[in-house]
Each structure stands twice: as C-alpha cells, then as structure tokens.
Structure 1
C-alpha cells in the first residue's frame, strides 16, 4: 500500500477588526479543515492608535489576540479616509506575508459587493487571494447564530441618527436586535453600528471590561459622487481590566 501524504493546509492571515463579524468568521475558518490561521492583522489610525470607526484602542485588540492565542500584526496609517495611505501600508504588510509564504487573507464581510470587489482586485494584483467565510449569509440568522454559539460582544460605536445613546455599551443580544429601527441591518453591515467581542468559543479567557462613558464625534465621509456626508457617531469609552476564565 502506497503512503498517502496529507495535503498541507492553506496558511491565512485574518483581517481582524475586533467585532462580532470578525469573531464569527474566524470561528468558521478555524473549523474548516483546509485552512490554518497563522496570524491576525489590524489597521489603526496612526494618530489615534484606534480601529477606524470602531473607536477601539490597540490595547484592547492586543488583549483579544492574547486570548485568541494568535500573533497580531499592527498596521498604522496616517488618517481616516486617506485611501492611498491605507493601500501603501497594506502593500508593505503584504510584502511581509509574501516572505512567510502566506497568500490568503480572510475577511468578515457579509454582503457589500463593492468592498469585496475592491479587496479581491487589490489582492489579486499582488498574487493574493481573499476568503469570505460569512459571505451572503442571512444577517438575521447570522446574528442569532452568533448569540447561540456563546459569543459575547458589546456595542462600541454607532451612527447617532440610527442608534440611541442608551444602547452604546450594551451587549449584542436578542433584546438589542429587537430594538433596532426598521431598515437597520441586524449585523450593522452597512456601518450602522460596530461591536467589540470579549468572550466566546474562540477565546481562551473572557476579557473583563469597564465602560468609562459615551463619547461623540462627527466625521466627513467621502462619497463616490465626490460629495461629503457628515455623520455623527457615539463611541463607548472601553477599558480592559484583564481577563478571566470562562
């Protein structure tokens, strides 16, 4: 009988935002036998050291990575909305992955076609491949499956015109889902709200968090038409108290 060699797994770097979609997508891909997630990478504003419109500080992302048992690569770029700076920073990171034989990157995107096309085209130009473990899942089903699986995440940011201030800092739960206004996606896939995941089946230990109040800030969001859309956001001021066993 001939010896059969086991095919090597596809090495992956995971694009980690710290939120529920990232957490659920990571869980999915870690349970797929053909992939091996080697590391996480997160982009931060160079000045703020926070994750884009999530408002999450790098210390909290590092605490997540520690509990996940995965190395975290931090990618800094000068300013929100500066796409050239973002692409320059990402290309530099792709050089690092290429040197390590990693040519696949996973994302937690669900149904934003333009974003998927952008990611795939930019990666293909460098000989990389994009993976979308949650692609085209029904977001109502996904949101409920996330809760049933035992994940815990809190609402860390939201558009003020859509989500009331009282909901910032609360857990993503059935009660939260039932309170969402009509037209708001259950997973916030259109950017209505963002979350920070602090416990669940992928974590060795749950993170202990402390909410230090609600902050507000407005941003000018560039539109494809060339116009600018001003949006007002709520942010939860979250601090880590460490971690605890489940």
Structure 2
C-alpha cells in the first residue's frame, strides 16, 4: 500500500473522502493534517475548537498533526509553512496527499502545483462526483454532520448550528451547492462508519463575525487558495460547539 497523509478539515467532505480512500485499500493513511488558527486555537475557516478536532482523530484512530497559522496569515507565510510541512512529510515517505475537494479547479491546480515542488502527488477520491449524489450517499452510510460556519452573504443565521438532513437540503436556496463546495458553509462531522464512537458535543451561541482586510492584501481562504480581497467574503455566521465531557 502507498503511504499517504490526509488533509483533514473536520467536515463532511473530509470524512466521506477518508471513508472512500479507506475502502479502496490502495493507500495507507499515516497522518491527519489540519490547519489551526493559533490565535484562537480553532480549526481554520471552520472555527471549531481544537479539542473537538482531537476527539475526531482519536475516534478515527489516525494520528493528528496540526499546522498553526496566525489569524492574519499572508499567502507568503502560508505557502512557506505548508512547504516546510510537506517537505517533512515527504521525508517520512509520505508521497501522497489526500483531499476532500470535489470540483474547484483553481484550488486543485494550486494544491497540485505546491505539492509538485516537493515531489508529492495529490489524491482526490471525490473529484468531479455529483455533490447531490455524494451527500445522499454520505447520509445513507450513517454519517452525521452539523454546520458550524455559513457565509452570511449566501445563507442566514437559521442555517448554522443545524444537523444536515433532508429538511436542511430542501431548504437550501437553488444558488447554494448542497455540499457547500463554493464555501457557502462548513461542517463538523461527528459520527459515521469511520468513527469508533460518536463525538459528544453541546451547541452554544451563534455569532456573526465580519472581517476587515486591507485593499491590497491576499487572504488564504477555502483551505489554501488565494483570492484578492475584493472577492473575499467578509461576513460569516459561526455556531460555537463545545466538547461534552465524559
């Protein structure tokens, strides 16, 4: 089997992609790699507490490594830290990197170009699959996931902090991808066939956060691609989840 690491976002697409890659038995996943905001100790973009991320990794039974970034990370710093980490992973014999991306061509091109610099090959088990089919199969398999962040320009407060089910899907506007593949929403996957046990958590407050960025800056967004600030969505609804102590 080929040794690989998995780029774990904590959300549903990652969970389903991990499930798919484990079924194929072509790759042996040695590590989960997750980007974390060091200022807030939360998963980047998702806003998820580190201890919930750690609980996922423990339940999946795959070692977790975190890459810490400041809240105001520049693309130059992002790229350098990612290159340092991928170079380290390559030195361990991990020649493949697995992602849960589905159809964002620019993002895949960006990832592959950066991986090529260090001699790693990207693997995309969900690539170009129909997102409605993916989500239907995801739910059929018994996965459970809750929205933790939604783009306030695309969805209202009522869509954050909700477990994704048929009602959620039916209520989505036609302009929103059912898997949130265009960044409309991000999720926390807390149960399913890859987990030894479900992650117990409590739902906290919902908060609207807006971000002010300098005109000429670039921002690392959607887990590792660059966009000019004029195209960067600056307002998000977050739902705070806390790990339920045993």
**TM superposition score normalised by structure 2:** 0.91
Equivalent residue, structure 2, for 1:156? 148
Query: Is 1:216 paired with 2:219?
Result: no
Equivalent residue, structure 2, for 1:5? none
Change (3 A) 1:180 1:74: same
Change (3 A) 1:10 1:229: closer
Q: Quote the Cα distance in structure 2 between the aligned partners of 1:20 and 1:81.
A: 25
Q: Structure 2 unaligned runs (5+)? A: 219-225
Q: Quote the Cα distance in structure 1 between the aligned partners of 2:211 and 2:111.
A: 24
* Larger CA deviation: 97-106 vs 116-125: 97-106
Question: 1:214 aligns to what SS in structure 2?
Answer: strand
Flag the structure with more relative contact order, 1 or 2, with Cα contacts below 8 A and sequence separation at least 6: 2
Q: Out of 100, 121, 129, which is 1:129 matched to?
A: 121
Equivalent residue, structure 2, for 1:186? 178
Q: Which has the larger radius of gyration?
A: 1
Q: Quote the Cα distance in structure 2 between the aligned partners of 1:81 and 1:192.
A: 22
How far apart are residue 167 of structure 1 and its match? 2.2
Equivalent residue, structure 2, for 1:4? none
Q: Does the 8 Å CA contact 2:153/2:233 hold for their aligned counterparts?
A: no
How far apart are residue 28 of structure 1 and its match? 0.3
Query: Which of structure 1's runs of 4+ aligned residues deviate more than 6 A?
Result: none
Provide the aligned C-alpha RMSD in A.
1.6
Change (3 A) 1:138 1:230: closer
Q: Quote the Cα distance in structure 2 between the aligned partners of 1:149 and 1:80.
A: 38
Q: Quote the Cα distance in structure 2 between the aligned partners of 1:23 and 1:190.
A: 18
Number of aligned positions between the proteins = 235
Q: Does the 8 Å CA contact 2:83/2:114 hold for their aligned counterparts?
A: no
How far apart are residue 226 of structure 1 and its match? 6.0
**Residues 64-213 of structure 1: matches in 2 within 5 Å?**
64-80=56-72, 82-213=74-205
Q: Quote the Cα distance in structure 2 between the aligned partners of 1:127 and 1:95.
A: 9
Q: Deviations over 1:127-179 (max 9, x none)?
A: 11000010000001111111111000001110123222122111011110100
Equivalent residue, structure 2, for 1:56? 48
How far apart are residue 227 of structure 1 and its match? 3.1
Q: Does the 8 Å CA contact 1:52/1:80 hold for their aligned counterparts?
A: no
Q: Does the 8 Å CA contact 1:108/1:132 hold for their aligned counterparts?
A: yes
Q: Quote the Cα distance in structure 1 between the aligned partners of 2:229 and 2:162.
A: 35
Q: Does the 8 Å CA contact 1:45/1:80 hold for their aligned counterparts?
A: no
**TM superposition score normalised by structure 1:** 0.91
Q: Quote the Cα distance in structure 1 between the aligned partners of 2:228 and 2:36.
A: 26
Q: Does the 8 Å CA contact 1:78/1:85 hold for their aligned counterparts?
A: no
Q: Does the 8 Å CA contact 1:207/1:242 hold for their aligned counterparts?
A: no
